[in-house]
């Protein structure tokens, strides 16, 4: 993004036509800036680290259990935690973790 040096408005791009080069112009004042070189800006994105819903085995020591079926191993009991992840007028999201020590599959119920 480029801004006008005289009035600080966001500059707009005027396409090249009839022999005129590509240029930036201000929509409020007569400022015009011809584009001589190709404008390129590369920025590497850093992926956000995903934090597990149930962090660590000790976190589940005091979590409540409920009678629900694990979709992976079909165990009949799971730990659960509810969080409001959308707007306030939407229902809470329930996150589950299988109680089976060999499975510990995590899923959610919207």
Whole-number pLDDT of residue 75: 92
The reply to whether 26 sits in an annotated binding site is: yes
User: How far apart are alpha carbons 110 and 103 in whole angstroms?
Assistant: 22
Whole-number pLDDT of residue 28: 93
Whole-number pLDDT of residue 59: 66
User: How far apart are alpha carbons 33 and 21 in whole angstroms?
Assistant: 10
Contact at 8 Å (CB) between 81 and 56?
Answer: no
Its CATH architecture, for the domain 58-109, is Single Sheet (2.20)
The reply to whether 33 sits in an annotated binding site is: no
Does the structural domain 1-37 have CATH classification 2.20.25?
yes
The reply to whether 70 sits in an annotated binding site is: yes
The reply to whether 98 sits in an annotated binding site is: yes
Q: What is the DSSP string of 31-78?
A: -EEE--S------PPPPPPPPPSS-SSGGGTT--EE----TTT--S-E
Per-residue pLDDT tens over the stretch 10-57:
999 887 777 777 889 999 999 998 887 776 778 888 888 877 666 666
User: How far apart are alpha carbons 47 and 105 in whole angstroms?
Assistant: 24
The reply to whether 99 sits in an annotated binding site is: no
Whole-number pLDDT of residue 67: 93
């Amino acid at each position: 993004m480029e801004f006008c040096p005289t009035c600080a408005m966001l500059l707009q791009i005027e396409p090249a036509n009839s022999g005129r080069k590509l240029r930036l112009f201000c929509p409020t004042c007569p400022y015009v800036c011809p584009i001589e070189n190709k404008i390129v800006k590369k920025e590497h994105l850093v992926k956000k680290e995903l934090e597990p819903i149930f962090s660590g085995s000790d976190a589940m020591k005091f979590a409540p259990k409920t009678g629900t079926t694990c979709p992976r191993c079909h165990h009949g009991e799971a730990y659960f935690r509810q969080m409001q992840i959308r707007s306030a007028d939407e229902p809470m999201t329930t996150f589950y973790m299988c109680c089976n020590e060999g499975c510990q599959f995590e899923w959610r119920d919207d």
